[in-house]
Amino acid sequence: MGTVVRNAFTEGLKADMYAYGFEAYESLPPVHEQVFEVVGSSTAYEQSTQILGAGEIVEKPENDPIVFENALEGFTVYGKNRTYAKGIEFSMEMVEDMPPEKIGNIVREYAARWGERTIQKKEEFAAGFFNYGGYTSGHDTFSAKITGVTDPNAPTALLYDGKPFFNLSNNLRALYPGGTAAYYNALALSLDAANLQTLYLRMTSTNNVDSRGKKIALKPTTLLVPSALTFTANNILGATNIIGSANNDINPMQGILNKLEWQYLTSSTAWFIGVPKKGIKFHNRKPLTFDFWQDQETGGYRASVIARWGAHVYDWRFWHGSNAATS
């Protein structure tokens, strides 16, 4: 690449790129911000180590010593930030033979489209945690490995415990490193009132435990569905009586959850329940950043956009799913 040259023309267009790009960016409300906890990030990756909660408090007979325990670490969780970029170039001849205002219009149009593409890419990436969350062999979406930067033990395709985000009963997970594998948060059932109740109870009556196996308050608030299931979800959550029943039975799932439709969910049959902004984080490392400059070596001009973000799961308990693809 030749020497970069900046002048009034390049700086003016660069400013216009921000104006157009962010206008388009703000006009498209993303769904991932309703599902993930969105946080800022200032490093190449996010890392945290779970600390197992205190063990059971036991009765101490009079004059007996207090029973002490060691503080225990749980799983180490990683989430890497990724870089996304795109650019467009104009040859010297194209710039010389085209009115300056036309070049400006092209650059501004690209900036607006890049703003939209950024939102789309974030949505695709975030939805991937659900689209690929049942893959038994994992998926790059869950990779937290950065060669030479993160710990060599950082996961490359699965969660921190070596299991998929949504694991079935034939692929049980443990509550802590070295623990007995006994838990799963995925079913293979279609969306109806009875199956929704089954998944709801698995989350609230079986998996509602901390790493020590003690009961915790865990209740889903959201039914997350693709567009193909939105009317099914409406019927289940809105009907007063059980659909298809001749006995006029009351629908126990009426209004128990809020429906959230996400068009970036690719399966027409997979559905999920969970607590938004819990268990999964989306970290913004670098905001949408534009640039425009002249390449002195070629005499042409280049425009670019770059942004960085990432996401990770730090607690599987807050999301349960059914019919998620396994490969």
pLDDT in tens, 119-161: 999 999 999 999 999 999 999 999 998 888 888 878 899 999 9
With respect to residue 213, please indicate whether it lies within any of the assigned structural domains.
no
Contact predicate 165/129, CB 8 Å? yes
Q: How far is CA 90 from the centre of its chain?
A: 36
The pTM assigned to this predicted structure is 0.86
Asked whether residue 230 is assigned to any structural domain, the reply reads no
- Is 271 in contact with 320 (CB distance < 8 Å)? no
Number of folded domains that form the chain: 1
The rounded distance, in Å, linking the Cα atoms of 242 and 253 is 9
Residue 98 lies in a domain: yes
> In this predicted structure, what is the pLDDT of residue 298?
87
Residue 318 domain-assigned? yes
Confidence (pLDDT) at 20: 67
How does residue 98 score in pLDDT terms, banded at 50, 70 and 90?
A: confident
Q: Regarding beta strands 258-261 and 222-225, do their DSSP bridges make them parallel or antiparallel, or are they unpaired?
A: parallel
pLDDT at 26: 59
- Residue 15 is predicted with a pLDDT of 77
Rounded mean pLDDT, 186-202: 96
Mean pLDDT score of the chain: 88
What value does the mean pLDDT take over residues 52-59?
A: 63
- Using the Cα atoms of residue 85, residue 160, residue 224 and residue 272 in order, give the sign of their dihedral: positive
Residue 2 has pLDDT above 70, yes or no: no
Share of the chain above pLDDT 90, in %: 57
Summarised one tens digit per residue, pLDDT across range 253-304 is: 888 999 999 999 999 999 999 999 999 999 999 999 998 888 888 888 888 9
pLDDT over threshold 80, residue 62 = no
What is the sign, positive or negative, of the torsion defined by CA atoms of 150, 153, 154, 157? positive
Q: Label residues 227-247 b or e (16+ Cβ within 10 Å = b).
A: ebbeebbeebbebeebeeeee
**pLDDT attached to residue 41:** 96
In single-letter form, the type of residue at position 25 comes to Y
Task: Please report the pLDDT score of residue 25 as a whole number.
Answer: 59
- For residue 24, pLDDT over 70 is answered with no
CA atoms of 8 and 12, how far apart (whole Å):
6
Residue 248 lies in a domain: no
CA distances 269 to 92, 146, 236, 272, Å, are 52, 34, 15, 10
Buried b / exposed e along 141-179 (16+ C-beta atoms within 10 A) = bbbbbeeeebeeebbebbbbbebbbbbbeeeebbbbbeb
* pLDDT reported for residue 220: 98
Q: Does 9 score more than 70 pLDDT? A: no
What pLDDT, on the 0 to 100 scale, is given for residue 79?
A: 94
Strand ranges for 130-173 from DSSP E: none
User: 96: burial class by Cβ within 10 Å (0-12, 13-18, 19+)?
Assistant: exposed
Q: Is residue 132 part of a domain?
A: yes
Q: Lowest-pLDDT range, 106-120, 216-230, 235-249, 261-275?
A: 235-249
How far is residue 282's CA from residue 101's CA, in Å, rounded to a whole number?
Answer: 39
- Is the pLDDT reported for residue 236 higher than 90? yes
Crossing angle between the packed helical segments 8-26 and 100-131, to the nearest 10 degrees = 40
Could you give the 3-state DSSP secondary structure of residue 315? Answer: coil
On whether residue 272 sits in a domain, the answer given is no
For 118, list phi and psi in degrees, rounded to 5.
-65, -45
Segments forming the whole domain that contains residue 166: 20-54+71-191+279-322
Give strand pairing partners of 314: none
Tokens 């770059």, located at residue: 306
pLDDT of residue 280: 98
Q: Is residue 260 in a domain?
A: no
> What is the Cα–Cα distance from 53 to 73, expressed in whole angstroms?
9
CB of 159 closer than 8 Å to CB of 313: yes
Tokens of 158: 């699965």
Length of the chain: 327
- Average pLDDT, stretch 223-233? 97
Q: Would you state the structure tokens that stand for residue 266, as one six-digit string?
A: 């690719």
